[in-house]
Amino acid sequence: MTASQHDQETLHSYLQLDAPARRPRFADFVGALKAVSQQEDPDAARGWAARAVSPLLDYSSLMKLRRYVNGPNAGTGAATNAGTSTGRVVRLAILGGPTTIQLRQLIELFLAHEGIAAEIYEAEYGLFRQEILSPGSGLDQFGPEIVFVATGARDLTRVPPLEADAAAVEQFAETELSDWLQLWETARSRWNATLIQNNFDIPFDRILGHYTLRHPAARENYLARLNRSLAEAAPAFVVMHDLNALAAEAGAAGWFDPRFYHEFKMPCGAECLPGYAHSVVSQLRAMLGRSKKVLALDLDNTLWGGVVGDLGPGGIKFGQGSGEGEAFLAFQRYAKELSQRGIVLAVCSKNDPEKAREPFEKRADMVLHLADISAFVANWNNKADNLRAIADQLELGLDSIVFVDDNPAERALVRRFVPQVAVPDLPEDPSGYIAAVARHRYFETTSFTQEDSARARYYFENTRRKELAAGAPDLESFLASLHMKMKVELINDLNIERSTQLVNKSNQFNLTTRRYTLSEVRGLVENSEWQTRTFSLRDELGDNGLISVILLRKQADALAIDTWIMSCRVLQRGVEQFARNELVDLCRAAGCNRLLGTYIPTAKNGLVADHYAKLGFSPAGSDGASTFWELDVAAAAPLPHFIERDESRA
Amino acid sequence: MRDVRAELQEIFRQVFDDPTIVLRDDMTAADVEGWDSVTHIDLLIAIERALGIKFATAEMSRLKEPDQNIGSFVRLIESKLQAG
């Protein structure tokens, strides 16, 4: 083995381990990073270091990694981190009440870990109001896309005096709220920014003790009330970041370190900073539509105790009667709740396929049912291959999967061979499984809609459709057998949230990958130059919900398709053909002669490179990367499909 | 007897990423490359964690005061370790 091979092996073997096993090897890992950085290529070292970034590392270790993630010349102030899979650079401003230097450094690390490239502007501490409100401020010159307002309980300028009565407290709260609303609206109108807004981390040194709860003017009671009002009043362009929940998780006494606050104005204790930065980046990841989407679960000793192949469905440890059985039950309930909020569940198990299903089929006390599991893979293949199969089956990327397995060897194999998949450590005791998954904040979201709660069913039905397709003599008769009905609507108050979510989450079937916030979409709807169409599909097997959104802009004698996105779960169903015919009708009704299309390639949307060609559009040039297309509406014959237009009212 | 100076030297080497640092009593922040107000905080955090001590608020920036140097810093840490 050459020295370089030895370093590579050191790096690989560190990253495939759980956190406790990594700890004694951290120095060796950093040594290998240094060697790689000096001998070969700082970019390679940067990639390795970014992969090692974890919320489970302590502050000093993360700062050590920072040297390699940012390169030797990492300075302070505005900095761009390298390494991106999206090609998009997020312009992020961090405005502190307390000092944000350490927080910003850690945020950079977690962004690098997520492969999110960012240009960061950091304000001097305490100046968040001036930066937003003063024209020509550093922030104004920077022109942020996302503003993180990193404030805390100590940034309130007004608190009611203890003797204030309920009406006076109300007045204080209203004034406070209108100040924050004004800050947000200013950031919105000036830079069209989206905000991440901390709430207040409520201290625990309560002057009135337990009576605090009953006295509106007591500071902690007042802060709790403000937290509620802020969250309720926050418009859609403000994403609330629950700093108070972070403080509670750490234990309020462990969260705030008065020494570091008084001396250096640090927002919390040093060892709480990595979790804080990780939490902010998780919100940011959700805003960019890059939260995890799939929870892939092992079975034996993960969803129940023991090996079902040996013990049979009656012999496994599960459910009431033993503490350990209840712990597995609690973990299944956690998975079930995740599926109810839109996370897709999969099973990835080394098992006999029939035996693996038996507990679900034969035990009445199972919380998870086969219908909750959208992809069920039980065989004797290696789990890296099986996770690839699950990604294919669900038509989702490997980087959207979280894999949970009690066996450290399986975890190591998956980390090594499919590093895109997130693999949390799992403790030996099943009572710790929920916390072990939850602490990574894989599934953060910035909205919750009806579609989310029904998603698991869609994926399950899709699997059944595929089984049907396999049995159907040909695709056409299969499609005809589905009796699909499509509802076409403009974007309206009822579907705007889901439409916006689809616009921001779709990566694969997305022609231009343009992202719009809720208020931007509302602006388009109200703008007479724009047309919007949404498509909702029902069929024999269930309701797919709203699965496609198209945004068009009038340009002289043409309608230009600004955005065309579709959920991948309805690929190969004729939805595109149906929508194209709709657009042709729309064009004619609007008095336009041509329909214009643009394809902007990204790392993820190769699927639709030929989209317009397939729909009969003619090439109309390219600018190197993007291709342009046009369709002469007069000459366009309707494309065949098997979808009936649903004219019923909602 | 615990060799606080050697332990501290190792922490300095880690924080400033320089394996050649050798601590002497008469050294101050000006003698270590990269020792500024930001890395000073990193240094305190690393020392507290590695040695299991807690600096008092008044001690946190003491090294920046006149007449303070590595020698007095080592004595401060030794006294904190003895106090347990």
Secondary structure of A340-367 in HEC code, one letter for each residue: HCCCEEEEEEECCHHHHHHHHHHCCCCC
Residues A433 and A560 both lie in one domain: no
Question: B44: domain range?
Answer: 4-83
CATH no. for residue A205?
3.40.50.1110
Chain B closest-CA separation from residue A259 CA (Å): 5
The type of residue at A133 is L
* Helix axis angle, A496-505 to A518-526, nearest 10°: 120
Flag whether residue B49 sits within 8 Å of chain A, measured between CB atoms: yes
From B46, B57, B61, residue closest to A60, measured CB to CB? B46
Residues A307 and A272 both lie in one domain: no
Model confidence at A352, in pLDDT bands (50, 70, 90)?
Answer: confident
- In a domain, residue A574? The reply is yes
Residues A100 and A36 both lie in one domain: no
- In a domain, residue A140? The reply is yes
Are residues A64 and B45, on separate chains, in Cβ contact within 8 Å? no
pLDDT score of A79:
42
Flag whether residue B53 sits within 8 Å of chain A, measured between CB atoms: no
Chain B closest-CA separation from residue A74 CA (Å): 12
Cα A513–A519–A525 angle (5° rounding)? 80
Best mutation site among B41, B44, B53, B55 for testing chain A: the one with the most A CBs within 10 Å? B41
Higher pLDDT, A620 or B65: A620
Last residue of a domain, one of A438, A455, A489: A438
Residues A160 and A47 both lie in one domain: no
Q: Kindly state the percentage of chain A with pLDDT values over 70.
A: 95
Model confidence at A252, in pLDDT bands (50, 70, 90)?
Answer: confident
CATH no. for residue A635?
3.40.630.30
The overall pTM is greater than 0.80: no
Higher pLDDT, A484 or A334: A334
Residues A346 and A401 both lie in one domain: yes
Decide: helix, strand or coil at residue A83.
coil
Residue of B nearest to A259 (CA): B57
Q: What is the dihedral of CA A148, A149, A152, A156, to 10 degrees?
A: -170
Q: Compute the distance between CA of residue A279 and CA of residue A244 in angstroms, rounded to an integer.
A: 12
Total domains in chain A come to 4
pLDDT score of A4:
83
CATH no. for residue B71?
1.10.1200.10
pLDDT score of A567:
85
- Contact at 8 Å (CB) between A272 and A255? yes
- In a domain, residue A516? The reply is yes
A30-44, A86-100, A160-174, B70-84, range with greatest mean pLDDT: A160-174
Contacting B with CB below 8 Å, chain A residues are: 58-60, 63-64, 67, 76, 101-102, 258-260, 262-264, 266, 270-271
Higher pLDDT, A360 or A71: A360
Residues A263 and A323 both lie in one domain: no
Strands A294-297 and A344-350: parallel
- In a domain, residue A378? The reply is yes
Residues A492 and A629 both lie in one domain: yes
- In a domain, residue A446? The reply is no
Residues A487 and A598 both lie in one domain: yes
Model confidence at A456, in pLDDT bands (50, 70, 90)?
Answer: confident
Last residue of a domain, one of A438, A455, A480: A438
With 90 as the cut, is the pLDDT of residue A46 above it?
yes
Residues A500 and A536 both lie in one domain: yes
- Residue-wise pLDDT for A372-417, tens only, equals 999 999 998 889 999 999 999 998 999 999 999 999 889 988 999 9
Residues A98 and A151 both lie in one domain: yes
Model ipTM? 0.95
- In a domain, residue A14? The reply is yes
The arithmetic mean of pLDDT across residues A8-15, rounded, is: 92
Model confidence at A576, in pLDDT bands (50, 70, 90)?
Answer: very high
Q: Which of A439, A526, A542 is nearest to A483 (CA)?
A: A542
Instruction: Give chain A's mean pLDDT.
Output: 91
Residues A429 and A560 both lie in one domain: no
Give whole-number Cα distances, A214 to A166, A200, A240, in Å: 11, 19, 26
- In a domain, residue A444? The reply is no
pLDDT score of B41:
96
Question: A342: domain range?
Answer: 294-438
Residues A98 and A155 both lie in one domain: yes
pLDDT score of A192:
94
Residues 6+ apart with CB under 8 A from A123: A93, A94, A95, A96, A100, A131, A138, A139
Model confidence at A71, in pLDDT bands (50, 70, 90)?
Answer: low
With 60 as the cut, is the pLDDT of residue A221 above it?
yes
pLDDT score of A186:
96
Chain B closest-CA separation from residue A490 CA (Å): 54
Total domains in chain B come to 1
Q: Compute the distance between CA of residue A642 and CA of residue A637 in angstroms, rounded to an integer.
A: 16
- In a domain, residue A460? The reply is no
With 60 as the cut, is the pLDDT of residue A645 above it?
yes
Last residue of a domain, one of A438, A459, A494: A438
Residues of A in Cβ contact (< 8 Å) with B48: 270
